[in-house]
Amino acid sequence: MAAQTLYDKLWQDHLVNQRDDGSSLIYIDRHLLHEVTSPQAFEGLSLANRDPWRLSANVATPDHNVPTVASERKEGVAGIKDDVSRLQVATLDENCAKFNITEFTINDVRQGIVHVVGPEQGLVLPGMTVVCGDSHTATHGALGCLAHGIGTSEVEHVLATQCLVQTKMKNMLIKVDGKLGEGVTPKDVVLAIIAKIGTAGGTGYAIEFAGDVFRDMSMEGRMTVCNMAIEAGARVGMVAVDDTTIEYVKGRPYAPTGEMWDKAVAYWQTLHSDGDAVFDTVIEMAGADIAPQVSWGTSPEMVVDISAHVPTLDAAKDDVQKDAWTRAYEYMGLTAGQPVTDIKVDRVFIGSCTNSRIEDIRAAAAVIKGRRVADSVKEAIVVAGSGLVKQQAESEGLDKIFTAAGFEWREPGCSMCLAMNADKLQPKEHCASTSNRNFEGRQGNGGRTHLVSPAMAAAAALAGHFVDVRNY
């Protein structure tokens, strides 16, 4: 058999049928659901009088619309103040009860951002096909899965048939070799990749992240990287299975045990690209060249090193980019050429499916410990990605480090990552955010998002403006 990439193998293993027109039917192993993209799918299922085809493949949790302030969470769904949010979360509860789908409800300790919960529970395992009505489903590729977002009509299709019509993507290899410098994190790696290849660089590809940097990276770091594959235009991001993957999965609530575990591990060990596999595109970078990153504009490719300046128009590659930058200067209230370290922050958000796992919280806490949030910062919040992450952080005393410094310690959810709940920016406010999107209005109408790592967000909170965490 011809040499295969990891993507080829995962595709092949799930291929049900292939047509001459290039469309294929693939089998889906795991379907994650949240409140935003599921209501119409459930409605369609009801109207057609269908039941989920394989009930146990589906697991749901509310995340986008849940309030993160503890007092508002106390009464559960009924306590959600915003009518639309309350209705969305209540509808998910009703649908899951009606169809008998496992749901980690609002105050279940296992509730959280769907992309944090899936791997944490062992619901996502190497070799699976994983889908969710959410573009950041790419996150799960960190476990050596074929994982991508789907639309609401596809959510219904997967519920009804456990299959999905797809067209095979092209293969891209992003190889980052060598070692990362001190203070440089997985978030900086993925931001640097997007800065290099652009937000359309990965369009039509399944990206495999390979090389020393990803081999040395923890599973949580790999999730941070795969999470943002979609910001580089690729629906799929993946890392091959290795001992780190298998160690991570072992003992998780939904992971196999006993003889099934041994069989699974034997299969998982085959989940890597063959040595002579051919990729359609190969990008190579040196880990040592990557510095802490900050996004200055309104697209995840508008990113520079912390020591750099907001780029000037003469550095733009064409007129389209010139226009985009001109608009971004205006929206962000920045001047071309100004040092990034001059940008003051009004709010700080540590959270989102990119950076709300325990290692992220530990990294931020390590910077914060014994120091104070700058007086000029109006609000700084830490939002764990799940109830279990929050619990773990509390058992390590990290919540105390944050609250002593002036941070708020919130309940799990998507929170300020997107303006779909009460956590929002006011117009013109600058936010140091560990999330993944910095589009206009993403964190609130007129809000100005700067994407950074948890350590960099923590340092910005203390300084009141962006600083290089390596010497702060």
Ligand X SMILES: CC(C)[C@H](C(=O)O)[C@@H](O)C(=O)O
Q: Which stretch binds ligand SF4 (CB under 6 A): 122-130, 318-326, 412-420, 421-429?
A: 412-420
Cα(2)–Cα(392) distance, rounded to whole angstroms? 46
Q: Measure the CA–CA gap between 299 and 360, rounded to whole angstroms.
A: 23
DSSP string, 212-239: HHHHSS-HHHHHHHHHTGGGGT-SEEE-
Partners of residue 176 on adjacent β-strands: 285
Residue 415, interface with ligand X (CB under 6 A)?
A: no
Contact between residue 348 and residue 342 where contact means Cβ atoms under 8 Å apart = no
Per rule CB under 6 A, is residue 149 in the interface with ligand X? yes
Smallest distance from ligand X to CB 380, Å: 22
* Nearer residue to ligand SF4 within complex by CB, 418 or 425: 418
Amino acid residing at 464: G
Q: How far is CA 91 from CA 50, 69, 283, 296, in A?
A: 18, 21, 44, 38
Residue 431 labeled ligand binder: no
Binding-site partner at residue 149 among ligand SF4, ligand X, none, CB < 5 to 8 Å by type: ligand X
Q: Hey, what are 268's tokens?
A: 């998982």
Rule CB under 6 A: say whether 231 interacts with ligand X.
no
Using CB under 6 A, which residues numbered 334 to 353 contact ligand SF4? 352-353
Q: Is residue 385 at the binding interface for ligand X, with CB under 6 A as the rule?
A: no
Nearest approach, Cβ of 452 to ligand SF4 (angstroms)? 15
- Residues 199 and 114 sit within 8 Å (Cβ to Cβ): no
36 binds, among ligand SF4, ligand X, none (CB under 5 to 8 A by kind): ligand X
Q: Measured from the CB atom, is 26 or 417 closer to ligand SF4? A: 417
Residue 64 touching ligand X (CB under 6 A): yes
- Side-by-side strand order, sheet with 163-167: 15-18, 23-27, 163-167
Tell me: does residue 436 bind ligand SF4 (CB under 6 A): yes
- Residue 134 binds ligand X, judged by CB under 6 A: yes
Of 59, 77, 113, 332, the residue at the interface with ligand SF4 (CB under 6 A) is 113
The Cα–Cα gap between 415 and 413 comes to 5
Contacted entry of ligand SF4, ligand X, none for residue 150, CB cut-off 5 to 8 Å set by kind = none
Q: For 399, how many CA atoms within 13 A lie in the half-sphere containing its CB?
A: 13
Find out whether 132 is annotated in a ligand binding site: no
For residue 37, what are its two tokens? 């993209």
Residue 335, helix vs strand vs coil: coil
Cα–Cα distances in angstroms (integers) from residue 325 to residues 334, 379, 439, in the given order: 10, 28, 13
How many Å apart are CA 385 and CA 382, to the nearest integer? Answer: 10
Q: How far apart are CA 174 and CA 466, in angstroms?
A: 29
Binding partner selected for residue 113 from ligand X, ligand SF4, none, CB under the kind-specific 5 to 8 Å limit: ligand SF4
Is 469 a binding residue for ligand X by CB under 6 A? The answer is no
- Residues in 146-165 at the binding interface with ligand SF4, rule: CB under 6 A: none
Q: Helices (DSSP H) in 83-241: which residue ranges?
A: 83-99, 114-121, 152-161, 186-197, 212-215, 219-227
Q: In angstroms, rounded to a whole number, what is the distance separating the alpha carbons of residues 365 and 455? A: 8
Q: Which of 184, 417, 460, 463 binds ligand SF4 (CB under 6 A)?
A: 417
- Indicate whether 120 belongs to the interface with ligand SF4 (CB under 6 A): no
Smallest distance from ligand X to CB 367, Å: 26
Considering the complex, what minimum distance in angstroms separates the CB of residue 204 from ligand X? 19
Figure out which of the listed residues 29, 93, 134, 208 binds ligand SF4, where binding follows CB under 6 A. 134
- Reading the block at residue 317, the tokens are 């590659």
DSSP letters spanning 79-93: G--SHHHHHHHHHHH
Q: Which residue is nearest to ligand X (CB)?
A: 135
Considering only residues 4, 5, 37, 449, which one is a binding residue for ligand X as defined by CB under 6 A? 37
Nearer to ligand SF4 by C-beta: 134 or 429?
A: 134
Q: Is 353 annotated as a binding residue?
A: yes
| 386 touches ligand X by CB under 6 A | no
Contact window for ligand SF4 (CB under 6 A) among 160-168, 249-257, 333-341, 413-421? 413-421
As annotated, the binding site for [4Fe-4S] cluster includes 353, 414, 417
Q: Which residues bind ligand SF4 (CB under 6 A)?
A: 63-64, 113, 115, 134, 136, 352-353, 414, 417-418, 435-436
